[in-house]
Amino acid sequence: MSAVWTIAKRELASYFTSPVAYVFLVIFLLLTGFFTFTAGSFFERGEASLAAFFGWHPWLYLVLVPAVGMRLWAEERRSGTLELLLTMPVTTWQAIVAKFLASWIFLAAALALTFPAIVTVNILGEPDNGVILAGYLGSLVVAGAYLAVSCMTSAMTRNQVVAFILAVVLCLFLILAGFNPVTDLLVRWASPAVVDTVAAFSVIAHFDGFQRGVIDTRDLFFFLSVIGFALFATGVIIRGHRSG
């Protein structure tokens, strides 16, 4: 565990040694503010809730999270430090978990910086803070799922732009899977079982419960399964590079 924490601290520190982290944080906070108070018509809703805040998160993360995750392994491969990392006294799995945790902690920090939204809604009314906390938990696991997918695509290539595009496409599928236009299209040529299977991968459907304050173990299991599968696939890809 100490090896995981050592690598994680190194990765987390690397974010703040360049202006990239600060640019990301500023953009994230500006966009969440814009989509909550302007596009989300926060004040016009006349209710003390952060529904307008959380509703945009799966879409915001669609671009921002792959931007964070695209460098995780692609940069190691491009600079030739992947081989060095894998010759250290750590397992491939420890390195993967450490890098993922460092980036997830960074995203959690970005999410924590949106606390003025909680303060604002509590000043203006009497919201159910339990619902808000559930929304934050849901937002964090959505970010984790996207990040794990980005980690996998980053391991596939040494080009960060390619890793970014692949991650955006895969995460977009996770968003669109449950949309009515998509399921209506599938119904025309696929069996109901196939349609239901595709719809079950919808991030929006699983995130909806968290937004309503319901922490369903099935929804939590879905996001953790996506994270686990994507990190497992990352390990398979990296071990392939290692043996190659």
pTM of the full structure:
0.89
Task: Check whether 55 has a pLDDT greater than 80.
Answer: yes
pLDDT for the residue numbered 108: 95
Read off the pLDDT of residues 70-118 as tens digits, 9 standing for 90 and up.
888 877 777 666 666 666 677 888 888 989 999 999 999 999 999 988 8
Kindly state the average pLDDT of the residues 147-151.
94
pLDDT for the residue numbered 82: 65
pLDDT for the residue numbered 149: 95
Q: What does 136-179 look like in DSSP terms, one character per residue?
A: HHHHHHHHHHHHHHHHHHHHH-S-HHHHHHHHHHHHHHHHHTT-
Q: Alpha-carbon distance 44 to 232, whole Å?
A: 45
Buried b or exposed e, range 173-192, using 16+ CB within 10 angstroms: ebbbbbeeebbeebeeeeee
Q: What are the residues whose beta carbons fall under 8 Å from the beta carbon of 88, sequence distance 6 or more?
A: none
133: exposed, middle or buried (Cβ count in 10 Å: 0-12, 13-18, 19+): middle
Identify the sign of the CA torsion 100, 106, 108, 111: negative
Element (H, E) at 110: helix 92-112
Report which of 170, 208, 230 is spatially closest to residue 54, judged by C-alpha positions.
Answer: 208
Report which of 219, 168, 135 is spatially closest to residue 60, judged by C-alpha positions.
Answer: 168
Instruction: Kindly state the tokens that stand for 5.
Output: 């924490």
To 10 degrees, the CA torsion angle through 239, 220, 142, 70?
A: 0
Neighbours of 6 (CB within 10 A): 14
Kindly state the average pLDDT of the residues 161-177.
91
